[in-house]
């Protein structure tokens, strides 16, 4: 059978490591007239167009599908490290504070996901919106219902996406129609892991919602499930809100702090990621670093709910893996471009402004590293899966005017993260194949 090849031409940018606060020149590669050679959905080669073409077999090139995006930016697909697909319908609900927001909007919305048709329709909508916004991989919360996981995984599998999700575990401090038990959580998780984990590009995440909604027995189960296989993931929430932190202390008085609750139950380590992580002590930062536990930076959600200001510079300086996240629906959009803009504003509060290069790193390779998926995605090194996006930096009148005669790389990246939206996403490719194209 003849192999499938694609040759993609454009302004190619990808990252090799964190640029840091000084924008290290060796942390990224940028080719103004660059190209990707893709073979069977994986990167075979990348570099300047003329050089790549010269070193590639002529017969292979003659049979390749050509995508000429000259003048447009080509980057790896963006990675959303923390979001809730069942909350798609409650974006833009009047904020209040975190715990009120959960009770008033989140829990009522999630109760409907026992119905497979509602779960399926929402999963289809959610994934279509992610792709339209240039997000190709995400760490996603489902609901307590196993039907919600089946719906999401099925929709992701049909699109050939690399995605993670898991059934929410929640056996206390939640409405009765959203509570499970230790026994039912174990039964459902074991079944869902067998059905979906490792199937095509899908992975399962053990998902206790957050410490207050799980008993110690259920958190112990979560830790045991995480330890049961070497490639399972864990996702939850940590230190988002001061009232939440006080509540955790009252529920787990023998633990030193919020993070110690998860540590006590074996829920720290590689492939674990916690959303928000705003109000962390130095001891918690050190423990996250030592254990390899990652943080999801959710700036739009944190601003919307008045939760606080994540200190990215401090977390990165503590050698913690950090990715960006929309947090849908506590966040305000599906857009990682807008999330980068909000992250910049939050960083200004700490007087450590997030540079454009570092922001785009966080949205691509940094997110892949935070999810421990960088062996598969995140940049254009040979062998990586060919998920990528094509960006039109002149997609709106505001961007066109702003970048007139100033269209260098750094100016372009920053303008898009401040002024950009889904109009900037010209095309989204999955495993080399075009899966979304902007409507003109």
pLDDT digits 0-9 by tens, 425-439: 999 999 999 999 987
Identify the band that residue 2 occupies on the pLDDT scale cut at 50, 70 and 90.
low
Q: What is the pLDDT of residue 329?
A: 80
Picking from 370, 351, 364, the residue whose alpha carbon sits closest to that of residue 294 is 370
Q: How confident is the model at residue 104 (pLDDT cuts 50, 70, 90)?
A: confident
Per-residue pLDDT reduced to its tens digit, 149-181: 999 999 999 999 999 999 999 999 999 999 999
Q: What is the average per-residue pLDDT within 105-115?
A: 90
Instruction: Please compute the mean of the pLDDT values over residues 172-197 and round it to a whole number.
Output: 97
Neighbours of 405 (CB within 10 A): 4
What pLDDT digit, counting tens, does each position of 357-372 carry? 999 999 999 999 999 9
Across 95-99, average pLDDT: 70
Partners of 371 in the β-ladder: none
Which DSSP helix (H) or strand (E) runs through 234?
strand 233-238
Instruction: Report how far apart, in Å, the C-alpha atoms of 121 and of each of 112, 151, 154 are.
Output: 12, 8, 11
In this prediction, residues 134-149 reach a mean pLDDT of: 98
The domain 78-370 is placed in CATH, from the list 3.40.50.1370, 3.20.20.140, 3.40.449.10, 1.10.357.10, at 3.20.20.140
What DSSP designation does 188 have?
H
Q: Which residue has the higher pLDDT, 289 or 329?
A: 289
Pairing status of strand 65-76 against strand 5-15? parallel
Classify 259 as helix, strand or coil: helix
pLDDT in tens, 373-429: 999 999 999 999 999 999 999 999 999 999 998 879 999 999 999 999 999 999 999
Can you give the pLDDT at residue 95?
Answer: 62
pLDDT at 440: 59
- Within a 10 A sphere around the Cβ of 283, how many other Cβ atoms? 12
| Mean pLDDT within 217-228 | 98
Q: What is the pLDDT of residue 131?
A: 98
Do 10 and 69 contact (CB within 8 A), yes or no?
yes
Q: For residue 262, what pLDDT is reported?
A: 98
DSSP 8-state class, residue 171: -
In this predicted structure, the answer to whether residue 355 has a pLDDT above a threshold of 80 is yes
Q: Enumerate the domain spans of the chain.
A: 5-76+379-437, 78-370
Mention every residue, 6+ apart, whose C-beta is less than 8 A from residue 393.
72, 73, 399, 403, 407, 412, 415, 416, 420, 424
Mean pLDDT for the stretch of residues 348-353: 97
Q: Quick one: which of 391, 382, 383 has its CA closest to 363?
A: 391
The model's pTM is 0.97
Sign of CA dihedral 76, 81, 84, 89: negative
CATH class of 5-76+379-437: mainly beta
CA dihedral 68, 30, 323, 157 (to 10 degrees): 30
Eight-class DSSP state of 106:
I
pLDDT at position 424 is 98
Kindly state the percentage of the chain with pLDDT values over 90.
92
Mean pLDDT over all residues of the chain? 96
Q: How far apart are CA 329 and CA 58, in angstroms?
A: 49
Nearest Cα to 333, choosing from 423, 398, 228? Answer: 423
């Amino acid at each position: 059978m003849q192999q499938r090849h694609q040759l993609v031409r454009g302004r190619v940018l990808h990252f090799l490591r964190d640029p840091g606060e000084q924008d290290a020149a060796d942390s990224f590669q940028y080719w103004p007239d660059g190209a990707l050679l893709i073979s069977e959905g994986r990167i075979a080669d990348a570099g300047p167009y003329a050089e790549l073409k010269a070193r590639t077999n002529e017969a292979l090139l003659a049979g390749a599908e050509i995508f000429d995006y000259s003048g447009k930016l080509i980057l790896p697909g963006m990675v959303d490290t923390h979001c809730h697909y069942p909350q798609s319908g409650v974006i833009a609900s009047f904020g209040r504070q975190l715990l009120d927001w959960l009770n008033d909007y989140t829990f009522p919305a999630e109760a409907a996901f026992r119905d497979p048709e509602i779960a399926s329709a929402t999963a289809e909508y959610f994934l279509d919106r992610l792709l339209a916004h240039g997000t190709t991989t995400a760490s996603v919360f489902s609901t307590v219902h196993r039907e919600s996981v089946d719906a999401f995984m099925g929709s992701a599998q049909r699109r050939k996406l690399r995605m993670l999700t898991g059934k929410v575990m929640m056996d206390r401090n939640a409405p009765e129609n959203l509570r499970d038990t230790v026994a039912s959580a174990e039964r459902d998780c074991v079944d869902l892991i067998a059905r979906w984990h490792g199937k095509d590009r899908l992975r399962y995440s053990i998902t206790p919602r957050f410490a207050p909604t799980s008993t110690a027995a259920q958190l112990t189960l979560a830790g045991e499930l995480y330890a049961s296989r070497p490639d399972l993931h864990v996702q939850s929430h940590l230190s988002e809100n001061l009232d939440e932190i006080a509540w955790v202390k009252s529920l787990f008085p023998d633990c030193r702090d919020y993070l110690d609750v998860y540590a006590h139950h074996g829920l720290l380590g590689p492939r674990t990621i916690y959303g928000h992580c705003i109000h962390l002590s130095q001891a918690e930062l050190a423990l996250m670093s030592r254990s390899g536990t990652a943080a999801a930076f959710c700036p739009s959600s944190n601003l919307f709910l008045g939760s606080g200001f994540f200190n990215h510079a401090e977390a990165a300086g503590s050698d913690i893996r950090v990715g960006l996240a929309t947090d849908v629906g506590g966040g305000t959009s599906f857009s990682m471009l807008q999330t980068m803009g909000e992250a910049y504003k939050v960083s200004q509060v700490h007087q450590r402004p997030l540079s454009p290069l570092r922001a785009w790193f966080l949205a691509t390779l940094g997110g892949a590293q935070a999810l421990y998926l960088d062996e598969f995605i995140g940049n254009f090194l040979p062998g990586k899966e060919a998920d990528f996006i094509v960006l039109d930096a002149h997609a709106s009148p505001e961007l066109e005017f702003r970048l007139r005669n100033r269209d260098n790389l750094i100016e372009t990246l920053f303008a898009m993260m401040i002024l950009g939206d889904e109009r900037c996403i010209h095309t989204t490719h999955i495993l080399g194949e075009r899966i979304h194209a902007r409507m003109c």
